[in-house]
Amino acid sequence: MSEQGIAVSDRSGFLRRTFAMLTKEFIQLRRDRVSFAMIVMLPIMQLLLFGYAINTTPRHLPTAVLLQENSDLGRSILKALQNTAYFRFVREVHTEKEFDGLLESGTVLFGVEIPRGFERAVRRGDKPALLVAADATDPVASGSAMSALGQLIQSALAHDLFAGDPPSPPFEIRAHARYNPAAESRLNIVPGLVGTILTMTMLIFTALSVTREIERGTMENLLAMPITPIEVMLGKIIPYILVGFLQATIIIGIGYFLFGVPIRGSLTMLALLSTLFIAANLSIGYTFSTIAQNQLQAMQMSMMFFLPNILLSGFMFPFAGMPVWAQWIGECLPLTHYIRIVRAIMLKGAALENLQYDTIVLVALVLVAMTIAVTRFRRTLD
Q: Measure the CA–CA gap between 316 and 360, rounded to whole angstroms.
A: 24
Contact 341/355 with Cβ under 8 angstroms?
yes
Q: Whole-structure pTM over 0.85, yes or no?
A: no
Burial class (CB in 10 A: 0-12, 13-18, 19+), 268: exposed
Q: Who contacts 189 (Cβ-Cβ below 8 Å, separation ≥6)?
A: none
Q: In this predicted structure, what is the pLDDT of residue 163?
A: 47
Output the 3-class SS for the chain: CCHHHHHHHHHHHHHHHHHHHHHHHHHHHHHCHHHHHHHHHHHHHHHHHHHHHCCCCCCCEEEEEEECCCCHHHHHHHHHHHHCCCEEEEEEECCHHHHHHHHHHCCCCEEEEECCCHHHHHHHCCCCEEEEEEECCCHHHHHHHHHHHHHHHHHHHHHHHCCCCCCCCCCEEEEEEECCCCCCHHHHHHHHHHHHHHHHHHHHHHHCHHHHHHHHCCHHHHHHCCCCHHHHHHHHHHHHHHHHHHHHHHHHHHHHHCCCCCCCCCHHHHHHHHHHHHHHHHHHHHHHHHHCCCHHHHHHHHHHHHHHHHHHCCCCCCHHHCCHHHHHHHHCCHHHHHHHHHHHHHHHCCCHHHCHHHHHHHHHHHHHHHHHHHHHCCCCCC
> What domains lie within the chain, and their CATH numbers?
61-178 (3.40.1710.10), 185-376 (no CATH)
* pLDDT tens-digit series, residues 12-30: 666 776 777 777 666 766 7
List the Cα angle 171/176/182 in 5-degree steps.
135
* pLDDT tens-digit series, residues 48-91: 777 777 777 788 889 999 988 888 778 888 888 888 888 889 99
pLDDT < 50 stretches in the chain? 163, 379-382
